[in-house]
């Protein structure tokens, strides 16, 4: 644990609360297992002593801003998390003057479970290209750590190379295990609709039964809703109780959007997502 980095976070959080600049600070504290981290809301200056940051801080805290949009809050974000802030700013779900962003340089996070943490970095961290958050008001800098930066779409390309029958069988098997708990939706910073399409009855988009075809519709429609918007935090996959590889599906669409439009979500709050705009000059490989 980088004690200097943690002290920078605590000092900044304390200053913000003592000055009344923010109502609260959303960060991480040590979980009750004494080993991993969990989200923490500090509303008093004395509470900042509970703030930590280490390799177990996996949660994307930007998701909480959607529910706190009427209060000025500070939030601790990793580089990948800060892309969610840019997404929410771009889609006018939060206002920039209502958020103070405490960015951190991130050495990567590991997989955790109760009273256990792995030594190996999460898959997303092995291909992450960001060292610093693309948006922040204060940057807490930790010790310089070299992190592997591999090809982000190798597993996607491997899946693409398989026959369509094999791909269909793979995803059918995955979706059959879905229990429709909607944890993926609840944790996603891009899923903020007051009424989700899966809960609409008129018109009825997806049936409420937990059945293979209904599960498939739910997962595919959600993935398409996130095309050009997913910021790759992989929170959906982390919280899935049946371990469906949702990031593989999301990164397939991310890859398509990047190749077609040279766009990645959350890097620039001013740049409109390509699927939210229309340009007559876009041919996308089709001849007139």
Pair of tokens at residue 52: 């930590």
The domain in which residue 17 lies consists of 3-140
132 in the same domain as 9: yes
12 in the same domain as 124: yes
175 in the same domain as 100: no
pLDDT of residue 53: 95
Could you tell me how far CA 256 lies from the centroid of its own chain? 19
E-only strand ranges, the chain: 24-30, 37-42, 51-52, 73-77, 99-104, 110-113, 116-121, 138-140
Angstrom distance (rounded) from CA 192 to CA 188: 8
Q: Tens digit of pLDDT for each residue in 204-229?
A: 888 888 888 999 999 999 999 999 99
Report the pLDDT averaged over residues 81-101: 95
Report the pLDDT averaged over residues 94-111: 92
In 3D, which of 121, 25, 138, 134 has the Cα closest to residue 79? 134
Which of the pair, 126 or 158, is modelled with greater confidence? Answer: 158
123 in the same domain as 217: no
Query: Which of 140, 167, 188 corresponds to the end of one domain?
Result: 140
- Give yes or no for residue 255 having a pLDDT over 70: yes
24-38, 159-173, 194-208: segment of lowest average pLDDT: 194-208
91 in the same domain as 60: yes
177 in the same domain as 261: yes
116 in the same domain as 68: yes
Enter the DSSP assignment of 273: P
Residue 148 domain flag: no
17-26, 28-37, 232-241, 276-285: segment of lowest average pLDDT: 276-285
Angstrom distance (rounded) from CA 48 to CA 42: 6
- Give yes or no for residue 175 having a pLDDT over 60: yes
135 in the same domain as 8: yes
Angstrom distance (rounded) from CA 243 to CA 70: 35
Report the pLDDT averaged over residues 87-111: 93
- Give yes or no for residue 155 having a pLDDT over 70: yes
pLDDT bin (cut points 50, 70, 90) of residue 272 is confident
pLDDT of residue 208: 82
Angstrom distance (rounded) from CA 156 to CA 247: 10
pLDDT of residue 147: 66
Residue 283 domain flag: no
Pairing verdict, β 99-104 and 73-77: parallel
pLDDT bin (cut points 50, 70, 90) of residue 230 is very high
Report the pLDDT averaged over residues 39-63: 96
Query: Which of 140, 167, 190 corresponds to the end of one domain?
Result: 140
Enter the DSSP assignment of 51: E
Q: Tens digit of pLDDT for each residue in 110-152?
A: 888 777 787 788 888 888 888 889 999 999 998 766 766 778 8
Assign 21 to helix, strand or coil: coil
Which of the pair, 273 or 169, is modelled with greater confidence? Answer: 169
Q: What is the mean pLDDT of the chain?
A: 90
Tell me the residue length of the chain.
288
In 3D, which of 263, 255, 4, 285 has the Cα closest to residue 154? 255
């Amino acid at each position: 644990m980088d004690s200097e980095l943690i002290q920078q976070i605590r000092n900044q959080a304390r200053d913000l609360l003592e000055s009344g600049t923010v109502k609260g600070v959303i960060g991480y504290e040590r979980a009750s297992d004494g080993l991993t981290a969990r989200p923490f809301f500090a509303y008093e200056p004395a509470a900042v002593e509970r703030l930590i940051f280490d390799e177990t801080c996996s949660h994307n805290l930007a998701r909480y801003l959607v529910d706190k949009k009427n209060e000025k809050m500070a939030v601790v974000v990793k580089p990948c998390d800060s892309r969610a802030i840019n997404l929410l700013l771009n889609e006018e779900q939060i206002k920039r003057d209502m958020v103070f962003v405490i960015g951190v340089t991130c050495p990567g996070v590991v997989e955790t479970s109760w009273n256990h943490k792995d030594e190996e970095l999460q898959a997303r961290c092995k291909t992450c290209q960001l060292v610093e958050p693309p948006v922040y008001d204060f940057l807490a800098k930790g010790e310089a750590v070299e992190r592997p930066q591999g090809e982000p779409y190798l597993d996607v390309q491997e899946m693409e190379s398989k026959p369509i029958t094999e791909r269909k069988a793979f995803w059918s098997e995955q979706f059959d295990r879905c229990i429709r708990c909607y944890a993926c939706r609840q944790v996603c910073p891009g899923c903020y609709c007051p009424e989700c399409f899966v809960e609409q009855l008129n018109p009825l988009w997806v049936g409420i039964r937990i059945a293979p075809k209904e599960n498939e519709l739910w997962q595919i429609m959600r993935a398409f809703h996130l095309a050009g918007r997913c910021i790759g935090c992989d929170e959906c996959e982390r919280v899935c109780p049946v371990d469906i590889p949702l990031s593989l599906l999301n990164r397939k669409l991310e890859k398509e959007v990047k190749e077609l439009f040279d766009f990645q979500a959350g890097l620039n709050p001013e740049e409109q997502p390509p699927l939210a705009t229309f340009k007559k000059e876009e041919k996308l490989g089709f001849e007139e």
